[in-house]
Structure 1
């Protein structure tokens, strides 16, 4: 029974990395049941962790955190540092996605400290990357790059030339800073790395990110090709959170083409999924984009509804980079509804913010230029004003 539990856990892992998540889930459930019969702490921890991973991929969030808490308990009993680091990393991921940043930091930091103490370079590599992503979302691009640099040093210690996740995360930061060619090189370079490892899901994620870089370079045909490939694969595997993110990227391509109906459809579908998954950051991204579409159509009532929805989500979110996108949508609304001076003042303020992504600052610059002839006197908003304060408003 002990050996069978381990074999089922191992078989489930093979199914998982090949993208067969339903089959993987069943194997992990069987492994967990068998491990309970023999009281094998290591396999109990491993099967609990792997089952949580598979369920999370499918959007089944109810069981996920209790399973991870059980995994943490069993790995502690087995003194399995690698298992503990992986579990703390995933708990950090879940709390980050739900907007609980203090809890996410606590789990990430605990895993990083354990990885450093045990010299577990591979476990440390993964969790450092995810802590770096959190800092990136908070607009701390220098802090996240420092962690990604540390990840590269770990790769040298591991004797590994490349790691796909490190490449993706470097790409994210270069995209945020406006070096789109370098971002594209990292995103596209990660695809064959993941494919060589038979990591199909991550290869699809890399395609989704590559579509972003292609869009920002103005190659909308290539952007569409990358996102179509990613979405097709995610739908085949029913990977809901990746479907949601890729749909939002598809909406961005629609906006770039001024195909408002297609963009709206993509954002709407993404919004339904992120609400189902309990991801307020994704909700905010879609609501801000839908407000922008309504403004572009001249539907101020619908735009106001979406802006009010977005502002109601704000307290649950931490992604500063998305909050700037909301402020840009708000600026467009003001400019289109009789207050071009305030809209332009907000757009000018966004351009001065180093924690805003390059894409958002570039958008603000272009929109401000378009408003230039409509506005004679523009009040200057101090660069030190807080984003939260500027997003605190009412339409009455």
Structure 2
């Protein structure tokens, strides 16, 4: 999906962060009109980001940056920068994500907001892991754990990212054990965490060749993502369920899940998800991945012939 140039994002981020700091960055009164508009734009960006509407989410977040800059609300600016980083990370652009995470971290450190620091450090670790920089990922996780310990704070997502790091560095069994222990604690901060935990469990089971267990975990993630309307995540869950079924030599069921994933990706206009899922469908044996009615709609949507766009 095309996104606006990073250079523009960075210049706005730096101007927003530094010009406000000179005056201390005190939070404005709730009646500040720019603050009110910023809150509205930030909430809109969050809603669009959950749906997987990356470009529209970015537009809302940058409106929020402008309003919060005028309101001189540093905490809100940091939240915007963190969320912009999340959108980049969701789209596989770890380097760009880190630029904005760094800016958010700088503000939180300046304001001694340790809990928010922990969250951003965890996100930075995930970005480094995506970039295959396991040493940097571990360093950020250690920082997050140390900071959390100082203030008696627990952020479960840090443990999920550490487990992902363990899996990616060859210790899938240890990762699975850590994730299962975390799941038993039932200390969820919200649905997004529940989904990410189940995806991490699914990937660990998949790595270990436990396809039934992996399918179940991805199915649990799908249920959560369906409830919260996380469309792009739903496509990813369905794709991984299809992968499990293909590995279990159930090509018809695999095709059904992959077609569902592809339909969502097409309606979202997410080219990366579309290409990955289409390749998986093509790799299924014979004509098993081809069914007349779904194919009719998938072909229409691929040509841009749809009356519904979730991002409008």
Quick check: TM above 0.5?
A: yes
Structure 2 unaligned spans of 5+? 1-29, 291-312
- Look up the match of 1:54: 47
> Are 1:239 and 2:230 counterparts?
yes
SS at match of 2:72: coil
1:19-168 → structure 2 map (5 Å cutoff)? 39-61=32-54, 63-100=56-93, 103-160=96-153, 162-168=154-160
User: d(CA) in 2 for partners of 1:156 and 1:166?
Assistant: 12
Taking structure 1 as reference, are residues 114 and 66 closer, same or farther at Cα in structure 2, changes over 3 Å only? Answer: same
Larger radius of gyration: 1
SS at match of 1:119: coil
User: d(CA) in 1 for partners of 2:205 and 2:142?
Assistant: 25
- Quick check: 275-284 or 104-113, which moved more? 275-284
Structure 1 unaligned spans of 5+? 1-36, 303-396
- 1:298 Cα deviation (Å)? 6.8
User: d(CA) in 1 for partners of 2:71 and 2:181?
Assistant: 38
1:1-396 → structure 2 map (5 Å cutoff)? 39-61=32-54, 63-100=56-93, 103-160=96-153, 162-191=154-183, 195-197=186-188, 199-283=190-274, 285-290=276-281, 293-294=283-284, 297=285
Verify the 8 A CA contact 1:190 1:203 in the aligned structure 2: no
- 1:240 Cα deviation (Å)? 0.6
User: d(CA) in 1 for partners of 2:253 and 2:106?
Assistant: 46
User: d(CA) in 2 for partners of 1:179 and 1:86?
Assistant: 33
SS at match of 1:244: helix
User: d(CA) in 1 for partners of 2:31 and 2:111?
Assistant: 28
C-alpha RMSD over aligned residues: 2.8
User: d(CA) in 1 for partners of 2:133 and 2:271?
Assistant: 20
Equivalent pairs counted in the alignment come to: 259
User: d(CA) in 1 for partners of 2:183 and 2:121?
Assistant: 21
Verify the 8 A CA contact 1:99 1:280 in the aligned structure 2: no
- 1:200 Cα deviation (Å)? 2.5
